[in-house]
């Protein structure tokens, strides 16, 4: 086989095709046709499609590379501290992501998981998120906990009235200027607020701890 060029190439191709069909194709066969779950009790289906502004915000999230520090996948309650940290009461499942154009699962938790950030406790409103993205400081905290992203904001003179979404707290220092979120910041904030995987699908129900221990590989 090593000497015969033809068979060697067939072998190479077979290696590629086996790898390709064993993961991408099999997974596609299993998950490619996943549908939303219709809940008779609530007369609606889940997950819901994100509003257009949030879908555009996901593109901002992607192009800034937020995925380098934030995951969006909650592990099961008995596997890690995800639930204890308030990131989500249940494990993330494949169905959560079917309407996301670019799922941002992530591989690094330099910062917290954001899968349910839109319903975090305590909740942050759009103005507080804007303040946070601009300064990198959570309101009330002293130290910078996030890189500030001032490029998502316009620093412009006040022309007539101060914009409704201008950052507060800066007016006293420079009354003639205002800092206003750009379009990208607004979509990013809408996206962050839309992150919510709270609905419990049948496959995502809590497993009783005793059963889970038995099933969990060591």
Partner 1 sequence: MSSTSTHAEVTAVDTAGRWPVLLLLASGLGWLVISGICALIASIQLHSPTFMSACEWFTHGRVSALAETSFVYGWAANAGLGIALWVLGRLGGSTLRAQNWSMIGTLFWNLGITLGLGGIATGDATSFALLELPRYVQPLLVVAYIAIGISGILAWSGRRTEGTYASHWYAVAALFLFPWLLIAAQTMLLWSPVRGVLQPIIDGWYVQSVFSLWLAPLALAGAYYVVPKITGQALPSYEFAPLAFWTLLFVGTMTGGRHLIGGPVPAWIPTLANAACWMVLFHYIVVTLNLRGALTGGGTSLAFISFGLLAYLAGAVLDAVTSFRGVALVTQFTYFTTAQQQLALYGGISMLLFGSIYFALPRLTGRPWNSGSFVRSHKVLAMVGIFLLVGSLAVAGLIQGTELSNATTTFGEIAGRTRPWLLAVSVAQVLLLIGNILMLVNFLRSVCVLCCSGAASEAGSFRQPTTMEVHAS
3-32 residues near partner 1, rule: CB under 8 A: 3, 5, 8-9, 11-16, 18-20, 22-24, 27-28, 30-32
DSSP 37: E
Question: Hey, which residues between 127 and 146 contact partner 1 (CB under 8 A)?
Answer: 136, 143-146
Q: Is 123 in the site for partner 1 (CB under 8 A)?
A: no
Q: Is 218 in the site for partner 1 (CB under 8 A)?
A: yes
Strands of 97-208, DSSP E: 153-157, 177-181
**Computed from CA positions of residues 157, 161, 167, 171, in that sequence, does the dihedral angle turn out positive or negative?**
positive
Residues in the chain: 218
Question: Hey, which residues between 79 and 118 contact partner 1 (CB under 8 A)?
Answer: 79-81, 84-85, 91-112
- Paired with 181 in beta bridges are 153
Q: Is 210 in the site for partner 1 (CB under 8 A)?
A: no
Provide the token pair at 192.
């962050």
Q: Is 68 in the site for partner 1 (CB under 8 A)?
A: yes
Contacts of 22 (CB under 8 A, 6+ apart): none
Q: Is 38 in the site for partner 1 (CB under 8 A)?
A: no
Question: Hey, which residues between 155 and 184 contact partner 1 (CB under 8 A)?
Answer: none
Among 36, 46, 75, 127, indicate the residue that binds partner 1 (CB under 8 A): 75
Q: Min. distance of Cβ 49 from partner 1 in angstroms?
A: 13
CA–CA separation, 28 and 63 (whole Å): 26
């Amino acid at each position: 086989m090593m000497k015969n060029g033809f068979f060697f190439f067939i072998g190479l191709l077979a290696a590629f095709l086996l790898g390709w069909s064993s993961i991408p194709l099999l997974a596609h066969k299993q998950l490619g046709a996943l549908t939303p779950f219709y809940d008779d009790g609530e007369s609606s289906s889940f997950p819901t499609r994100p509003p257009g502004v949030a879908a555009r915000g996901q593109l901002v999230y992607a192009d800034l590379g937020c995925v380098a520090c934030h995951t969006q996948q909650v592990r099961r309650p008995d596997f890690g501290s995800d639930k204890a940290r308030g990131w989500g009461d249940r494990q993330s499942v494949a169905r959560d992501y079917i309407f996301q154009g670019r799922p941002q699962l992530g591989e690094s938790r330099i910062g917290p998981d954001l899968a349910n950030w839109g319903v975090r406790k305590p909740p942050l409103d759009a103005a507080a998120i804007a303040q946070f993205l601009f300064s990198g400081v959570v309101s009330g905290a002293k130290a910078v906990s996030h890189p500030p992203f001032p490029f998502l904001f316009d620093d412009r003179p006040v022309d007539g009235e101060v914009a409704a979404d201008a950052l507060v707290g800066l007016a006293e220092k420079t009354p003639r200027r205002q800092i206003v979120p750009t379009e990208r910041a607004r979509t990013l904030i809408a996206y962050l607020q839309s992150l919510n995987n709270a609905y419990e699908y049948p496959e995502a129900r809590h497993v009783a701890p005793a059963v889970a221990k038995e099933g969990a590989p060591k």
